[in-house]
């Protein structure tokens, strides 16, 4: 592991702005292997979805999202529990250890809509503002194929609001002065880079105007010791974490530090299946006789 990454200036940039791109955190040959693993996992997870792009919801036209691929596909696990990425996340947050909240592929399909402005943490059940996402591109990402853009310093603005980016209309965050007055900073990236952002940083992404899917994988981490809010989310509902309790289970294992080469075993699949999560086929589960 490269002990110089993240550098002190990358750490201060993250703390001040709420995002930072770490160039070349992964080797290109590693990225190629992980891109294939995630592609396989996404193909498997979406194999029952036969809809055309224009039949999808506005949100699905902005992001094809498959959650907790580390549970489905063993070859995704070395990426979602990558020591260099986990160690960087912990260093940026300034904590001793991080747990995974969940991982997910975020593909923006050819012609995909923009990702609307939002903060991530209001979608999660984590009380403390000690969360961070690692966004890992599988190709070079420019404005025309869906680059990210961040509102610098918005993680420290005191704002913590649920923006409904799922309906494609009535975006709460567009009404906020923080969003209207600030200037989003575009972050283009290339293979090998990892772009980190704080869970409270307002961000969005450009539409994908190209004919090729923009493929990225993300890993969301939180500082070990964080506690649960009342917000319902599979990462705490599945293992039955009580409101106010420390979030710790085999669904949110320690991501860093771990012994070299050690990867966690996934928990049992959700029963009944949850849309978008492992085991989901897109069909309502059949009722069984009592
Ligand atoms: O990939 C995108 O377009 C958006 C990413 C995002 O919102 C996130 O990682 O939190």
222-277 per-position pLDDT tens digit: 999 999 999 999 999 999 999 999 999 999 999 999 999 999 999 999 988 898 89
- Residues near 133 by Cβ (< 8 Å), separated by ≥ 6? 120, 196, 197, 199, 218, 219, 220, 221
Indicate the burial class of 43 (C-beta count within 10 angstroms; 0-12, 13-18, 19 or more).
Answer: exposed
For ligand 1, residues with CB inside 6 Å are 63, 106, 108, 115, 120, 133, 135, 146, 203, 205, 216, 218
Distance CA 149, CA 171 (A): 17
Q: Which of 38, 89, 203, 206 to mutate to test the pocket of ligand 1 (most atoms within 8 A of CB)?
A: 203
Cis link prior to 239 (omega < 30° from 0)?
no
Which residues, including other chains, have CB under 8 Å from residue 281's CB and lie 6 or more apart?
Answer: 48, 273
Question: What is the fold, at CATH topology level, of the domain defined by 8-222?
Answer: Jelly Rolls (2.60.120)
What is the side-by-side strand order in the sheet with 203-205? 115-118, 203-205, 148-150, 185-187
pLDDT tens column, 102-119: 999 999 999 999 998 899
| Location of structure tokens 């906020």 | 176
Tokens of 142: 């420019």
Tokens describing residue 278:
């492992």
Q: Residue 208's closest CA among 67, 81, 102, 64?
A: 64
- Domain residue ranges in the chain: 8-222
- The tokens describing 85, both together, are 């990425």
| Residue 179, C-beta contacts closer than 8 angstroms, at least 6 positions apart | 117, 151, 173, 202
Tell me how far the alpha carbon of residue 225 lies from the centroid of ligand 1, in angstroms.
25
Q: Which residue has 């012609």 as its token pair?
A: 111
Per residue of the chain (290 residues), give pLDDT as tens: 455 679 999 999 999 999 999 999 999 999 999 999 999 999 999 998 899 999 999 889 999 999 999 999 999 999 999 999 999 999 999 999 999 999 999 999 999 999 988 999 999 999 999 999 999 999 999 999 999 999 999 999 888 988 878 765 544 565 666 556 678 999 999 999 999 999 999 999 999 999 999 999 999 999 999 999 999 999 999 999 999 999 999 999 999 999 999 999 999 999 888 988 998 887 665 555 54
Q: How high is the pLDDT of residue 276? A: 85
Residue closest to 134 by CA, chosen among 123, 148, 144: 148
- Measured in Å, residue 106 CA sits from the centre of ligand 1 at 7
């Amino acid at each position: 592991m490269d002990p110089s990454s993240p550098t002190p200036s990358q750490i201060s940039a993250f703390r001040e702005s709420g995002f930072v791109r770490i160039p070349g955190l992964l080797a290109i040959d590693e990225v190629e292997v992980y891109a294939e693993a995630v592609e396989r996992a996404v193909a498997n997870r979406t194999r029952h979805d036969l809809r055309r792009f224009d039949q999808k919801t506005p949100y699905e036209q902005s992001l094809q999202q498959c959650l907790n691929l580390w549970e489905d596909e063993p070859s995704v696990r070395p990426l979602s529990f990558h020591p260099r990425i986990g160690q960087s996340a912990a260093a940026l947050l300034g904590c001793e250890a991080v747990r995974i909240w969940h991982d997910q592929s975020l593909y923006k399909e050819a012609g995909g809509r923009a990702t609307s402005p939002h903060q991530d943490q209001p979608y999660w059940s984590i009380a403390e503002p000690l969360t961070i996402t690692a966004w890992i591109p599988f190709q070079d990402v420019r404005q025309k194929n869906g680059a990210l853009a961040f509102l610098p310093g918005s993680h420290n603005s005191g704002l913590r609001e649920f923006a409904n980016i799922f309906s494609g209309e009535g975006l709460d965050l567009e009404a906020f002065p923080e969003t209207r007055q600030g200037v989003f900073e575009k972050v283009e990236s290339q293979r090998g880079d990892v772009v980190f952002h704080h869970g409270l940083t307002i961000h969005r992404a450009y539409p994908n105007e190209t004919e090729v899917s923009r493929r990225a994988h993300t890993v969301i981490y939180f500082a070990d010791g964080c506690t649960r809010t009342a917000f319902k989310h599979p990462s705490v509902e599945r293992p039955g974490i009580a409101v106010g309790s420390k979030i710790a289970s085999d669904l949110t294992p320690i991501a860093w530090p771990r012994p070299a080469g050690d990867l966690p075993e996934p928990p049992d699949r959700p029963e009944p299946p949850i849309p978008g999560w492992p085991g989901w086929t897109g069909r309502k589960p059949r009722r069984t006789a009592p």
